[in-house]
Amino acid sequence: MASRVHLGILGAGTVGGAVHDLIATGHLARFGVEADVVKVFTRTPGDKARYRVSPELFTTEAAEVTGHPDVDIVVEVLGAGGPDDLLAQKEWVVDALRNGKSVVTANKALLVAHGAEIWTAARECGRAVRFEACVGGGIPIIGPLTQSLSAERPTAVYGLVNGTCNYILTEMAQRGRSYEDALASAQALGYAEADPDADVSGRDAEAKLLLLSSITFGTRLKPGVIHRKGIEGIHAIDFLYAARKGRSTIKSMALARSVDGALEAMVTPMVVPEDHFIARIDGVTNAMFFKGEVSDGGAPDGGDWDYVFAGPGAGGGATAMAVLGDVHELVVRSDDAPFLPVESIVPGVGSVRPEDDLRASFYVRFVVRDQSGIVGELCQIFGEKRINVSEIWQLEHAGEELESLAGAGKGRAASSEVLPFVITLEETSVGQLRQALERIARKDYVLAEPLWLPIWRT
Ligand SMILES: NC(=O)c1ccc[n+]([C@@H]2O[C@H](COP(=O)([O-])OP(=O)(O)OC[C@H]3O[C@@H](n4cnc5c(N)ncnc54)[C@H](OP(=O)(O)O)[C@@H]3O)[C@@H](O)[C@H]2O)c1
């Protein structure tokens, strides 16, 4: 039996346009769902190709979508903007819920900023909010974590959630390109925005991790609380050290795990062993891993289980598929149950470990002005902070590699004077490492801020 659903769309950009296109081509019809779009909000209707065909569909007033009597589900696919924009978008979503509509959103920034008020309104109104497209674009991850894997006791969720970063790091690793060159290529191919800061700084991945953490561990974290490091400081030589000396590569990881009753969460490039599955996820592909135990006494065949979700983490078409997957689910569900706020379905971890208390083994890359006794002095400083040095790695470098390092740091130096090398450290805390590096940074032979990256451990 066919079901009918009328959609209102807030936003007519890449994702909004793709949702509209899929509906127009009867994408849900094969599931017996007849869907149509009754109203679209955009501030610039005249710019949209579809406006020339059906101008009556468009409005510049969001309320004409959220309050439209025929709209059953509001699809919210707006670009996030600043805090005032997010506030306005939250009002529109709450307005839709109060008008009896369910909401499907792709806007992770909105949920991270105002999720609590939106869940409260959904609960009060008995309406649903679905957000599969917010993390991993077209990859199903929210549904599996909140439904299919609900018998598991989660221990970790982690992975590559930003295709722009993964593309840039893959290009640097496989082609030896500089960061600037790989970023320019990502922009030329449409994988990075003209202003790439949200991606390369890790802010986009942070928002996704906060959502993943909230549905996995019941946390309610705001941006700025967890450890976040971008990929801007990584140099092509870091891949040489990681590969030749450590049989590893570097990946931009988002990680939340439960350790001794506390949550450890971070977004950071990490040194990952070449034989880990994640090291082979290249280009713009996203991959998320879920680690869990069966709740009552462990998996029947022993040990933890890892689940992997990989695929297109962005793109209008892929993301629109996830949006329509949510629409489909809402249409076929007869009970119209509201989305359960996550703290009511998972017990939640006790606390979030402060950034300085995070523990890992570390890769630390130095660029110094070559002179005798430096390595001994650095090892002494680490020793005084009770940090054990594991290995010291040094490679021969081509002239142009040294050239690019010579001009990069605080003190310019002739390339013949520049000495890069890496010290790996046994497990220590971020706080102890920072204290040691603050002392080291004051040494006049240090030419650039040392790059420090956690080394992946399972
Ligand atoms: N593109 C992807 O691959 C992808 C993947 C996953 C999730 N998402 C999320 O999906 C949402 C839409 O992404 P998109 O790629 O479609 O973005 P987009 O192409 O930039 O389109 C965004 C839409 O929202 C409107 N808009 C932007 N800022 C606004 C504001 N402050 N107030 C009101 N309207 C505003 C835009 O302008 P007009 O009003 O002028 O039309 C446009 O209609 C975002 O939240 C994004 O994070 C995107």
The residue extents of the domains of the chain are: 3-137+318-344, 142-312, 355-455
Distance 76 CA to ligand 1 centre (A): 9
For residue 24, what is the enclosing H or E element?
A: helix 14-24
Atom 21 (ligand 1): residue with closest C-alpha?
13
Atom 42 (ligand 1): residue with closest C-alpha?
13
β partners of residue 369 = 418
Give whole-number Cα distances, 162 to 25, 208, 225, 255, in Å: 30, 9, 19, 13
Q: Can you give the pLDDT at residue 454?
A: 98
Q: Can you give the pLDDT at residue 301?
A: 56
Atom 32 (ligand 1): residue with closest C-alpha?
85
Q: Can you give the pLDDT at residue 39?
A: 97
Contact 207, 86 (CB under 8 A): no
Q: Can you give the pLDDT at residue 125?
A: 92
Q: Can you give the pLDDT at residue 26?
A: 92
Atom of ligand 1 nearest to the CA of 15: 16
Distance 162 CA to ligand 1 centre (A): 17
> 275-308 burial, b if ≥16 CB within 10 A, otherwise e?
eeebbebbebbbbbbbbbeeeeeeeeeeeebebe
Pocket mutation for ligand 1, best pick of 161, 208, 319, 321 (most atoms within 8 Å of C-beta): 319
Domains 142-312 and 355-455 share a fold: no
Q: Can you give the pLDDT at residue 341?
A: 46
> DSSP alpha helices (H): ranges in 100-248?
108-125, 142-143, 163-175, 179-188, 197-200, 203-217, 236-240, 246
Give whole-number Cα distances, 228 to 105, 159, 221, 378, in Å: 25, 14, 13, 25
Atom of ligand 1 nearest to the CA of 16: 16
- CB-count burial class (<10 Å; 0-12, 13-18, 19+) for 26: exposed
- CB-count burial class (<10 Å; 0-12, 13-18, 19+) for 351: exposed
Give whole-number Cα distances, 280 to 166, 189, 231, 273, 274, in Å: 11, 21, 18, 10, 8
Atom of ligand 1 nearest to the CA of 45: 41
- For 91-143, what is each residue's pLDDT tens digit? 999 999 999 999 999 999 999 999 989 989 998 998 999 999 999 999 999 99
Contacts of 391 (CB under 8 A, 6+ apart): 245, 423, 424
Pocket mutation for ligand 1, best pick of 14, 50, 85 (most atoms within 8 Å of C-beta): 14
Q: How many CA atoms lie within 13 A of 206 on its CB side?
A: 20
Atom of ligand 1 nearest to the CA of 81: 31
| CA dihedral for 19, 25, 29, 31, sign (positive or negative) | negative
Distance 202 CA to ligand 1 centre (A): 19
Atom of ligand 1 nearest to the CA of 88: 32
Active-site positions read 208
User: Rounded CA gap, 157 and 48, in Å?
Assistant: 39
Distance 436 CA to ligand 1 centre (A): 43
Distance 51 CA to ligand 1 centre (A): 17
Domain 3-137+318-344 has CATH 3.40.50.720: yes
Q: Can you give the pLDDT at residue 111?
A: 92
Q: Can you give the pLDDT at residue 458?
A: 66
- CATH fit for domain 355-455, picks 3.30.450.20, 1.10.3260.10, 3.40.50.720, 3.30.70.260: 3.30.70.260
Atom 19 (ligand 1): residue with closest C-alpha?
13
User: Rounded CA gap, 442 and 413, in Å?
Assistant: 17
Q: Can you give the pLDDT at residue 253?
A: 98
Distance 44 CA to ligand 1 centre (A): 12
User: Rounded CA gap, 133 and 235, in Å?
Assistant: 32
Pocket mutation for ligand 1, best pick of 10, 15, 135 (most atoms within 8 Å of C-beta): 15
CATH code, 142-312: 3.30.360.10
CA-closest candidate to residue 424, choices 458, 456, 395, 388:
388
Pocket mutation for ligand 1, best pick of 77, 91, 110 (most atoms within 8 Å of C-beta): 77
Q: Could you list the mean pLDDT of each consecutive 10-residue stretch along the chain, which spans 458 residues? A: 86 96 92 94 94 93 98 94 95 97 95 91 91 94 88 90 97 96 95 94 96 89 92 96 97 94 94 95 96 65 76 92 94 61 48 92 96 95 97 90 72 79 98 98 93 92
| 316-332 vs 14-24: helix crossing angle, rounded to 10 | 60
Q: Can you give the pLDDT at residue 53?
A: 87
User: Rounded CA gap, 148 and 189, in Å?
Assistant: 36
Q: Can you give the pLDDT at residue 226?
A: 93
Distance 195 CA to ligand 1 centre (A): 15
Angle at 326 between CA 287 and CA 163, to 5 degrees: 25
- CB-count burial class (<10 Å; 0-12, 13-18, 19+) for 334: exposed
- CB-count burial class (<10 Å; 0-12, 13-18, 19+) for 448: buried
CB under 6 Å to ligand 1: residues? 11-16, 42-44, 77-81, 85, 106-108, 133, 137, 314-316, 319
- For 186-233, what is each residue's pLDDT tens digit? 999 999 999 999 999 999 999 999 999 988 988 888 888 899 999 999
Atom of ligand 1 nearest to the CA of 318: 3
Q: Can you give the pLDDT at residue 366?
A: 96
- CB-count burial class (<10 Å; 0-12, 13-18, 19+) for 243: middle
Atom of ligand 1 nearest to the CA of 107: 45
Give whole-number Cα distances, 129 to 19, 33, 339, in Å: 17, 19, 6
Q: Can you give the pLDDT at residue 342?
A: 46
Atom 33 (ligand 1): residue with closest C-alpha?
78
Contacts of 307 (CB under 8 A, 6+ apart): 144, 149, 289, 290, 291, 292
Distance 106 CA to ligand 1 centre (A): 9
Atom 11 (ligand 1): residue with closest C-alpha?
77
